[in-house]
């Protein structure tokens, strides 16, 4: 079982110490014996230990920066929510295909923001604008927030904050099984707790540093028993030899483990594997031994934002994915809802 994340190195921005959570985290890491360095801004996190980019990248992935979120304008987050709520960025996982490799560029370390009250206030404004419509906030657009939350409990506070709200809903997704501290949060059914799942082949070869399927399913059962609305994101759906068996098998494990009440209000989101040309270059640099197939010639080109197109599966392959995975879901979980396939 993958152990809960402990950073090797912590940077604390001085302004973070103006907030109670900043002080709490500094004391916590001190007690844990983690090396702490001060920095005036996260952009100054330079000279990470390591002889070359490859090693520095790995050090960064186990470095935590405790900072203050300056931009309180939220990005939109289609199709799963109206807004992305920024509590953290970066991730300690090493999924070869992860889009954070390109979006975080040369700063792949993890950041957690301690000005949570200001972030909640901003969320409040967004909710007011849309009321009485519900507003959904996605907390895992730029990180796997559950993976660090046993240290910060920011997500736990957010769950309770949205539990008290009139028109807000929270959602996030994780590949980590360290959920115990979230089980007694007073969520009032306003948080959808999702797990990202994949078949054994994909987890084994492309998702090092994350919890295994069995552990994610065990965690999902606990979450269901704690009364949270539950969901699964099957992503990235990756066509490898034997995928037509691998994905139904994954769903069988899920079906056997979940309590009956959880199957009534279950959502699935299906996302096929895709890559861009810049992402391919970064993946090949960070994970040179990866067997992830990134051959443009085998894919269909789809125009994207900012002129950066992505390579997705061919139309017939997409139809087959919907057929194999979609029909298994409907067969095994007839009361569930597939929210989208993209
Ligand atoms: Fe990226 Fe999620 Fe893997 Fe973390 S767990 S490396 S965010 S894909």
Confidence of residue 274 (pLDDT cuts 50, 70, 90): very high
DSSP state of 200: H
Q: How far apart are the first and last CA of the chain?
A: 31
Say what the pLDDT of residue 227 is. Answer: 97
Instruction: Indicate whether 43 pLDDT > 70.
Output: no
In a domain, 71, yes or no: yes
In short, whether 141's Cβ falls inside 6 Å of ligand 1 is no
How many angstroms is it from 99 CA to the middle of ligand 1? 8
pLDDT reported for residue 73: 97
CB atoms within 10 A of CB 143: 24
- List the structure tokens of 146: 């559950």
Residue count (the chain): 342
Average pLDDT, integer, range 18-39: 96
The domain of 31 spans 9-268
- Check whether 80 has a pLDDT greater than 90: no
In a domain, 148, yes or no: yes
Could you tell me if residue 4 is inside a domain? Answer: no
Digit-coded pLDDT (tens) for 230-254: 999 999 999 999 999 999 999 999 9
Ligand 1 center–CA 144 separation, angstroms = 6
Nearest residue (by CA) to ligand 1, atom 5, is: 93
CA 229 from chain centre, in angstroms, equals: 17
CA separation for the pair 61, 45 (Å, rounded)? 13
Q: So what's the pLDDT on residue 79?
A: 85
Of all protein residues, the one whose alpha carbon is nearest to atom 8 of ligand 1 is 98
* Dihedral angle of Cα 288, 294, 296, 300, to the nearest 10 degrees: -160
Atom of ligand 1 nearest to the CA of 101: 1
Instruction: Compute CA distances 4 → 35, 39, 178, whole Å.
Output: 18, 25, 6
* Residue 292 counted as domain residue: no
pLDDT at 335: 97
Q: For the segment 280-324, what is each residue's pLDDT rounded down to a tens digit?
A: 999 999 999 999 999 999 999 999 877 789 999 999 999 999 999
Phi, psi angles (nearest 5°) of residue 129: -60, -35
Considering only 93-97, 113-117, 304-308, 312-316, which range has the smallest mean pLDDT?
A: 304-308
Residue 206 has pLDDT above 80, yes or no: yes
Atom of ligand 1 nearest to the CA of 91: 4
**CB of 100 closer than 8 Å to CB of 140:** no
> What does the buried/exposed string (b/e) look like for 232-246 if buried means 16 or more CB atoms within 10 Å of the residue's CB?
bbbbbbbbeeebeeb
Residue 299 lies in a domain: no
> Are 140 and 173 contacting, i.e. CB atoms less than 8 angstroms apart?
yes
Contact 188, 165 (CB under 8 A): no
Residue 153 burial (CB < 10 Å; 0-12/13-18/19+)?
middle
Nearest CA to ligand 1 atom 3: 95
CA-nearest residue for atom 1, ligand 1, is: 98
Atom of ligand 1 nearest to the CA of 143: 7
Angle at 75 between CA 72 and CA 78, to 5 degrees: 150
Q: From the CB of 98, is ligand 1 less than 6 Å away?
A: yes
CATH number at residue 183: 3.80.30.30
Going from the Cα of 293 to the center of ligand 1, the distance in angstroms, rounded, reads 18
Ligand 1 and 91: CB distance under 6 A: yes
Q: Pick the residue with more confidence: 18 or 47?
A: 18
CA angle 231, 237, 240 (to 5 degrees): 145
On whether residue 309 sits in a domain, the answer given is no
Q: Is the CB of 95 under 6 A from ligand 1?
A: yes
* Residue 40: pLDDT over 80: no
Measured CA to CA, the distance from residue 239 to residue 75 in angstroms comes to: 31
What is the number of structural domains in the chain? 1
Residue 109 lies inside a defined structural domain of this protein = yes
User: What's the mean pLDDT in 133-138?
Assistant: 98
Query: Which residue's alpha carbon is nearest to atom 2 within ligand 1?
Result: 144
In angstroms, what is the span from residue 143 Cα to ligand 1's centroid? 7
Share the mean pLDDT of the chain.
95
Q: Is the residue at 27 inside a domain? A: yes
Cα distances (angstroms) measured from residue 266 to each of 171, 217, 230, 232, 338: 13, 14, 6, 8, 9
């Amino acid at each position: 079982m993958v152990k809960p994340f402990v950073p090797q190195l912590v940077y604390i921005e001085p302004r973070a110490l103006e907030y109670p959570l900043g002080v709490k985290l500094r004391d916590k890491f001190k007690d844990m014996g983690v090396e702490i360095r001060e920095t005036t801004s996260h952009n100054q996190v330079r000279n990470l230990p390591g002889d070359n980019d490859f090693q520095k990248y790995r050090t960064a992935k186990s470095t935590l920066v405790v900072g203050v979120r300056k931009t309180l304008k939220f990005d939109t987050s289609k199709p799963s929510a109206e807004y992305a709520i920024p509590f953290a960025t970066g991730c300690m996982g090493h999924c070869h295909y992860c889009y954070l490799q390109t979006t975080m560029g040369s700063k792949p370390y993890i950041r957690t923001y301690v000005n949570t009250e200001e972030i909640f206030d901003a969320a409040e404004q967004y909710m007011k604008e849309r009321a009485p419509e519900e507003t959904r906030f996605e907390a895992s657009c730029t990180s796997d927030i559950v993976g660090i939350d046993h240290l910060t409990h920011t997500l736990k506070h957010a769950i309770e904050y949205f539990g008290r709200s009139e028109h807000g809903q929270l959602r996030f997704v994780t590949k980590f099984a360290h959920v115990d501290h979230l089980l007694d949060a007073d969520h009032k059914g306003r948080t959808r707790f999702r797990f990202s799942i994949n078949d054994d082949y994909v987890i084994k070869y492309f998702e090092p540093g994350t919890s295994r399927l069995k552990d994610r399913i065990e965690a999902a059962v606990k979450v269901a028993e704690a009364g949270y609305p539950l969901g699964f994101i099957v992503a990235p759906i990756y066509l490898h030899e034997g995928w037509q068996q691998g994905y139904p098998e994954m769903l069988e494990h899920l079906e056997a483990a979940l309590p009956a009440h959880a199957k009534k209000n279950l959502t699935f989101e299906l996302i096929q594997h895709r890559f861009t040309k810049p992402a391919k270059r970064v993946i090949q640099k960070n994970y040179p031994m990866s067997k992830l197939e990134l051959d443009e010639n085998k894919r269909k080109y789809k125009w994207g934002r900012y002129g950066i197109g992505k390579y997705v599966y061919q139309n017939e392959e997409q139809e087959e994915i919907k057929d194999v995975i979609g029909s298994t879901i409907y067969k095994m979980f007839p009361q569930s809802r597939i929210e989208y396939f993209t």
